[in-house]
């Protein structure tokens, strides 16, 4: 008799639990339904820009806003664009900076100092001598290279209030940080929109924004530096931040059987030969990740790892023997899946 009563009492509870479960399932299904993906690929800043946006609707107009953001930035920081702030600085030795440019140049100064000059945006006289990304690229003659090198000195790029100045004959090239800085600017643009999550890659820099609607993190492929442009050697699983990669495959001048890449050692004026073929850096700031990937590439494994640590950044280094070194903060976030690559421990 007692048991019968208990059964009766439990019956409504069971119904209620079932109703709650069905409700939760419906809500989850609806949320899944609500997320739409908008994708676009375009060319800007001399590179491929790929945008994937997730949210409740499609975001065609946001693509235009992102492209506007990149164009505005390029018009300010590209030395190739006549009348840009960097062009004015290069031509007249001084320029009044926006806050954005001032902060960017200050950050470049910090990385210059911390890297012992391995990263130096005043390397412009030398990069424009090699012209590695242009049709008339050529190995410069020794005399011209020596002359160009005499103007490379990041310590002479000064910021005073909002004015930036360089020494006579110096030339600033922000090619090493443009794509990472673009990621920071795109993040600001996305913050003004009702967007749930986004992945935007500007050349070798990838911005991870908001949340991935189908997983608790984003998956970022690390390019195989010895494969074709679509092959990768590993995957990073990350919640947010910017991932920048510098590699010796990106822009190359081939003379006979010699290859010259575009990341120069400001001490020699020749392509850096530190034993590394690719460096990937992960941190919150896009410009910092881009500056550090270039700097670490020039410094090599040991100096590069120390540099990243001093800025609280994490990274994946690949050397000429296809050995892969992953900093502690990424050890459970990196999966190796490339042919011939091998995880290794950095020795002291």
Minimal distance, residue 175 CB to ligand ADP, in Å:
3
What 8-state DSSP symbol labels residue 81? S
Contact track, Mg ion, 213-252, x by CB under 5 A? ---------------------------------x------
Between 66 and 129, CB nearer to ligand ADP: 129
Among 294, 296, 298, 325, binds Mg ion (CB under 5 A): 294
119 binds, among ligand ADP, Mg ion, none (CB under 5 to 8 A by kind): ligand ADP
- Nearest residue to ligand ADP on Cβ basis: 175
Q: Are strands 163-165 and 158-160 parallel, antiparallel or unpaired?
A: antiparallel
Minimal distance, residue 264 CB to ligand ADP, in Å:
4
The helix (run of H) or strand (run of E) holding residue 243 is strand 241-247
Minimal distance, residue 124 CB to Mg ion, in Å:
15
Does position 201 bind Mg ion by CB under 5 A? no
By C-alpha distance, which of 248, 172, 176 is closest to 205?
176
CB 169 within 8 A of CB 57: no
Q: For residue 345, count CB atoms less than 10 angstroms from its CB and return exposed for 0-12, middle for 13-18, buried for 19 or more.
A: exposed
Calculate the alpha carbon distances from 302 to 118, 307, 347 in Å: 13, 9, 9
Minimal distance, residue 56 CB to Mg ion, in Å:
35
CB atoms within 10 A of CB 82: 9
**List of residues contacting ligand ADP (CB under 6 A):** 119-121, 123, 127, 173, 175-176, 179, 203-204, 246, 250, 262-264, 266, 290, 293-294, 298
Between 55 and 269, CB nearer to ligand ADP: 269
The span from the CA of 10 to the CA of 17, in Å, is 11
Between 122 and 294, CB nearer to Mg ion: 294
Is 48 strand, coil or helix? strand
Query: Which of the ranges 92-100, 135-143, 158-166, 285-293 carries the binding residues for Mg ion, by CB under 5 A?
Result: 285-293
Minimal distance, residue 126 CB to ligand ADP, in Å:
8
Among 125, 290, 300, 316, binds Mg ion (CB under 5 A): 290
Calculate the alpha carbon distances from 189 to 62, 66, 185, 277 in Å: 8, 7, 6, 33
CB 214 within 8 A of CB 207: no
Among 84, 90, 274, 293, binds Mg ion (CB under 5 A): 293
CB 209 within 8 A of CB 310: no
CB atoms within 10 A of CB 150: 11
78 binds, among Mg ion, ligand ADP, none (CB under 5 to 8 A by kind): none
Minimal distance, residue 332 CB to ligand ADP, in Å:
27
Interacting residues toward Mg ion by CB under 5 A: 176, 246, 290, 293-294
């Amino acid at each position: 008799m007692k048991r019968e009563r208990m059964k009766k009492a439990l019956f409504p509870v069971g119904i209620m639990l079932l109703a709650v479960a069905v409700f939760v399932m419906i809500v989850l299904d609806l949320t899944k339904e609500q997320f739409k993906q908008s994708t676009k690929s375009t060319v800007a800043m001399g590179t491929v820009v790929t945008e994937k946006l997730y949210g409740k609707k499609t975001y065609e107009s946001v693509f235009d806003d992102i492209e506007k953001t990149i164009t505005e930035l390029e018009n300010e920081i590209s030395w190739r664009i006549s009348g840009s702030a960097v062009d004015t600085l290069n031509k007249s030795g001084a320029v009044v900076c926006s806050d954005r440019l001032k902060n960017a140049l200050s950050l470049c100064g910090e990385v210059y100092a911390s890297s012992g000059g391995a990263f130096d945006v005043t390397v412009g006289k030398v990069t424009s001598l090699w012209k590695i990304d242009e049709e008339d690229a050529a190995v410069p003659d020794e005399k011209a290279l020596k002359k160009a090198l005499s103007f490379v000195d990041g310590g002479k790029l000064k910021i005073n209030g909002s004015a930036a100045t360089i020494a006579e004959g110096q030339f600033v090239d922000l090619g090493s940080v443009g794509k990472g800085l673009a990621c920071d600017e795109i993040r600001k643009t996305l913050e003004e929109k009702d967007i749930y999550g986004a992945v935007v890659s500007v050349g070798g820099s990838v911005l991870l924004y908001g949340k991935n609607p189908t997983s608790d993190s984003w998956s970022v492929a690390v390019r195989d530096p010895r494969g074709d442009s679509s092959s990768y050697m590993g995957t990073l699983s990350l919640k947010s931040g910017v991932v920048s990669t510098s590699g010796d495959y990106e822009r190359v001048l081939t003379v006979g059987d010699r290859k010259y890449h575009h990341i120069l050692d400001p001490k020699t004026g020749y392509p850096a030969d530190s034993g590394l073929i690719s460096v990937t850096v992960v941190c919150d700031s896009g410009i910092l990740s881009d500056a550090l990937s270039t700097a670490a590439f020039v410094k090599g494994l040991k100096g590069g790892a120390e540099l990243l640590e001093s800025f609280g950044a994490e990274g994946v280094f690949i050397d000429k023997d296809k050995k892969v070194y992953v900093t502690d903060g990424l050890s459970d976030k990196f999966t190796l899946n490339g042919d011939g690559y091998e995880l290794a421990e950095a020795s002291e």
